Amino acid sequence: MSNQFRSVREAPAEGKRVLVRADLNVPLSDGEITDDTRIKAALPTVQLLIKQDAKVVLVSHLGRPESRDELSMRPVRDRLSRLLSVPVTLAAGVAGSDVAADVEALEPGQVLLLENSRWEEGESRNDPDLAAALAELADLYVNDAFGAAHRAHATTEGVAHLLPAYAGLLLERELSELGSLRDDPERPLVVVLGGAKVSDKVGVMRRFLDIADKVLVGGAMCFSFFRARGVGTGDSLVEEEGIDLAEAVLEAAERSQCELMLPTDLVIADSFDAQAERKEIDGIEVPDGWMGLDIGPATTKRYAKTIADAGSVLWNGPMGAFEMEPFATGTRGVAEAVAAASGRTVVGGGDSAAALVAFGLDREVDWLSTGGGASLEFLEGKDLPGVAALDAVEKEADG
Ligand code: ADP
Ligand code: MG
């Protein structure tokens, strides 16, 4: 699984110009980086290439700029340089003659960061001219941007066809961790899904009804399931288009060997507010004027026990509105159970990761995936364009 694609570890990088697509799309507030996890996750591949005396040309997107006056990579350059303890040059743009001159000036072991790839409108539409211009800048290509691999963009897909293309260390690790969970898990395999919307997770849910032993559902998305069963949900957040999807999942669960577990008790409140009146109800019928904001204590206990008994666990999506302390209990209970589990534990999803960090438990899981949408699509069994475009190991034997 992990060895399906040629690895950066085997790339003949010495003295070569290596274009590395990383996911350096960090959250910013007033131009300051508020969380540098993604930059840190990108370091090992860059460090490996520096050690091999490559000329490293890094590229990433950052947010959704509307023009070249917005979202320069400058703050990312500064942080990257500090974390690497080497100077990192910021390029004059994404591609073109000025950037080619910046690359020309690189010595082996030096790093150049290209500007925000979304400054080029060709990036998102995978423009062949932009891909060709990027390919001009390098001898080899490495994709380490697992979090962007579900998008066929010029820096993630187009350019991969034009250069010898290798998998970066982070991307490789993601594929092997998620791949072994999906394709060869220790049993019982327990999948815990939560979060806001059924439609985000329905693909993964359907897939794991076929391969998991238990699927546990929490978060606002359980209200689509309750509505599909005709249960009143009061003022709870309900994704209307999720109701039909939930109904289909319930039908599929009937036919499957996998057990689909839904909450049996809830925490409700009279408004979406940390100061709201809060009640625990034994049951799932939410009265009018109230909304369900967390799974209840009995459900939390049952889910925690199921997680403790698992051979492997996949968790994606919080159990409630955990950002507000009165409604964090279910998510914390699941997080603590995942942290303490003896089975292999993998967590994906931006908000689930944020919850683990908030509880101080992020180091207690075996793998915290950096790719939200990409990890879901991969687990569903979809081909990720940014991965499919890499050179397969077999090619070497052919060529
Ligand atoms: P992830 O990023 O881990 O995939 P999602 O983005 O799908 O998770 O969902 C996370 C969001 O869902 C959180 O902001 C959380 O507050 C919200 N949420 C979960 N349960 C509820 C609920 N019962 N009512 C309202 N919001 C909820
Ligand atoms: Mg989210």
- Examine the pLDDT at 395 and tell me if it is beyond 70: no
Given 93, 234, 311, 350, the catalytic residue: 350
Distance (angstroms) between ligand 1 centre and the Cα of 196 equals 4
**Pocket of ligand 1 contains residue 75 by CB under 6 Å:** no
Asked if residue 212 lies in contact with residue 186, where contact means CB atoms within 8 angstroms, the answer is: no
Q: Which ligand places an atom closest to the C-alpha of 219?
A: 1
Distance separating alpha carbons of residues 241 and 77, to the nearest angstrom? 42
Residue 242 in contact with ligand 1 by CB distance below 6 A: no
Known catalytic residue at 311:
no
**Per-residue model confidence as pLDDT tens digits over 260-306:** 999 999 999 999 999 999 999 999 999 999 999 999 999 999 999 99
- In short, whether 343's Cβ falls inside 6 Å of ligand 1 is no
User: Tens digit of pLDDT for each residue in 205-230?
Assistant: 999 999 999 999 999 999 999 999 99
Q: Which atom of ligand 1 is nearest to the CA of 316?
A: 3
Q: Is 289 left (phi over 0), alpha (psi -120 to 50) or beta?
A: left
Is 38 catalytic? The answer is: yes
CA distance 325 to 319: 13
| Sheet of 214-217, strand order | 259-261, 214-217, 189-193, 312-316, 344-348, 367-368
pLDDT for 372 equals 87
Residue in 90, 109, 93, 104 with CA at minimum distance from that of residue 138: 104
State the pLDDT at residue 399: 39
Give the rounded percent of residues in the chain with a pLDDT score beyond 70. Answer: 98
Q: How many angstroms does the Cα of residue 383 sit away from the middle of ligand 1?
A: 26
Q: Which residues pair with 269 in a beta bridge?
A: 278, 291
Q: How confident is the model at residue 315 (pLDDT cuts 50, 70, 90)?
A: very high
Torsion sign across C-alpha atoms 310, 332, 244, 262: positive
CA distances to 48, 118, 249, 306, 373 from 168, rounded to whole Å, are 10, 21, 36, 35, 19
What spacing in Å lies between the alpha carbon of 183 and ligand 1's midpoint?
Answer: 27
Q: How far, in Å, CA of 389 to CA of 35, rounded?
A: 30
Q: Is 195 left (phi over 0), alpha (psi -120 to 50) or beta?
A: left
pLDDT confidence bin for 1, thresholds 50/70/90? very low
Please list the helix, strand and coil fractions of the chain in percent, rounded to the nearest 5, in that order: 40, 15, 40
What distance in angstroms lies between residue 190's CA and the mean position of ligand 1's atoms? 20
In DSSP notation, 358-395 reads HTT-GGGSSEE-S-HHHHHHHHHTPPPHHHHTSPBHHH
Confidence category of residue 3, pLDDT binned at 50, 70, 90? low
Protein residue with least CA distance to atom 9, ligand 1: 195
Q: Cα separation of 295 and 319, whole Å?
A: 6
**Greatest CA span in the chain, whole angstroms?**
68
Distance CA 271, CA 280 (A): 14
Q: Which of 199, 197, 200 is nearest to 223 (CA)?
A: 197
Please name which of 203, 209, 219 lies closest in space to residue 267, comparing C-alpha atoms.
Answer: 219
* 321-341 confidence digits (pLDDT tens): 999 999 999 999 999 999 999
Q: What value does the mean pLDDT of the chain take?
A: 96
The residue to mutate among 351, 357, 380, having the most atoms of ligand 1 within 8 angstroms of its beta carbon, is 351
Establish whether residue 357 lines the binding site of ligand 1, counting it when its CB lies within 6 angstroms of any ligand atom: no
> Is 350 among the catalytic positions?
yes
Q: What is the pLDDT of residues 29-46, one digit of tens each?
A: 999 999 999 999 999 999
